[in-house]
Amino acid sequence: MSHPVPSPRRSARLRARPGRDAPLRFGWVLLFLVSCAAEVPERPAFVAASVAPVGSLVAMVAGPGVPVEVFLPANQTAHDFEPTPGDALRLAGARLVVSVDPHFDPWMVRAVRAVAGPDVPVLTLSSASKGPGDPHAWMDPPTVIAFLPELAQGLAAAFPERAGEIRERAATVEQALRGADDACAGILEPVADEPFVLQLPAFVNFAERYGLRLIGVIQTCPEEEPTPGAFARSAAALRAGGGHVVFASRGVTRATADALALEVGGRVAVLDPFGVGEADLAGLWTAGATRMAEALSDARD
């Protein structure tokens, strides 16, 4: 029996649970930020992105003449991130803010409103998804491609002197992303029938996009331990389906994935949903597809 795979859209609120009290914890910095924002030295205009993959997408469309600053530190996860006053003050002067989803990076909007008020436009990548929300929307190629017109419009309004260039780049980026989407389909087609389990749900949409045989997700977010039932169902699903691969996520402890692989006599492979070291979002997708194909092909041999 297969373990039901939780939809990243249906379980968005659950995955964001560790940060559900963040408005209370964040509140102590608001007065400080309001008092200090006026004292922040002027900087060149820039775009703020909550996480690196979104920053990559923004940079692809904006071009080299528009600075893009990624807000989330590389060594932290979005689920439990709580910005310091210094973090929030980095947003002062942003002409545009681009976030992922209200249940994934709510701290981004709170911080920009604290230092810059209500007038700075905020774009949300998951607004282009077909469902109610998607905290890993950058891993869903159709959502990203559907978001491009809104992103180009927002960038052109924020940097009108570059509007023509931005619109031209958006068309080029769309072609590149569609090419990467097609490449991923070709890379993964030979292993589409190989069963596997994900430790975390970042690649759920990606797997569904390419018709892969995802049979379980162990944890809803890094900060929550899996229940014994979830672990047992994932193990049973792998045994029943003849699967041997558990995909862990880079930067997150893989103890659960290692334990499940040991339980079923399988192996762990590591995926990187943030694409560290990749040139851009298209590279992140193709690198992820290649890693998945290699691991699933090796398991078949």
pLDDT tens-place string over residues 5-60: 555 444 443 344 434 444 434 444 444 444 454 455 566 899 999 999 999 999 99
Pair 34, 68 in one domain: yes
Give the Cα separation of 116 and 17 in Å (integer).
Answer: 27
Enumerate the H helices of 138-252 as residue ranges.
141-158, 163-188, 204-209, 228-241
Q: Is the pLDDT of residue 114 over 60?
A: yes
Of the candidates 165, 184, 203, which is a domain's last residue?
184
CB count within 10 Å of CB 65 equals 10
Give the Cα separation of 121 and 155 in Å (integer).
Answer: 10
Look at residue 250 and tell me if it is in a domain.
Answer: yes
Q: Is the pLDDT of residue 180 over 50?
A: yes
Residues ≥6 apart with Cβ < 8 Å to 19: 79, 80, 81, 82, 106, 107
Pair 143, 290 in one domain: no
Pair 53, 135 in one domain: yes
> What is the SS3 assignment for 97?
strand
For helices 228-241 and 255-264, what crossing angle results, to 10°? 40
Pair 81, 176 in one domain: yes
Pair 221, 72 in one domain: no
Give the Cα separation of 134 and 95 in Å (integer).
Answer: 25
Q: Tokens 């998804």 belong to which residue? A: 129
Ranges assigned E (strand) in the chain: 46-49, 68-70, 94-99, 122-124, 195-198, 213-217, 245-249, 267-271
Q: Is the pLDDT of residue 163 over 90?
A: yes
DSSP 112-131: HHHHHGGGS-EEEGGGGSSS
pTM comes to 0.85
Residue 132: predicted pLDDT? 67
Provide the sign of the torsion angle of the four alpha carbons 274, 132, 110, 120, taken in this order: positive
Q: How many domains does the chain have?
A: 2
The CATH number of whichever domain residue 63 belongs to comes to 3.40.50.1980
CB count within 10 Å of CB 108 equals 28
Look at residue 134 and tell me if it is in a domain.
Answer: yes
Look at residue 238 and tell me if it is in a domain.
Answer: yes
Look at residue 1 and tell me if it is in a domain.
Answer: no
Burial class (CB in 10 A: 0-12, 13-18, 19+), 279: exposed
CA distances for 247 relative to 13, 206, 230, 239, 261, angstroms: 23, 13, 16, 16, 10
Tokens for 115, please give them. Answer: 């230092």
Of the candidates 164, 184, 204, which is a domain's last residue?
184
Q: Are 217 and 266 in contact (CB under 8 A)?
A: no
Give the Cα separation of 236 and 167 in Å (integer).
Answer: 50
Query: Do the strands 122-124 and 213-217 form a parallel or antiparallel pair, or are they unpaired?
Result: unpaired
Pair 194, 294 in one domain: yes
Mean pLDDT estimate for the chain:
85
Pair 148, 21 in one domain: yes
Parent domain of 70: 13-184
pLDDT tens-place string over residues 186-237: 999 999 999 999 999 999 999 999 999 999 999 988 878 888 888 999 999 9
Tokens for 189, please give them. Answer: 């087609």
> What is the SS3 assignment for 248?
strand
Of the candidates 184, 205, 232, which is a domain's last residue?
184
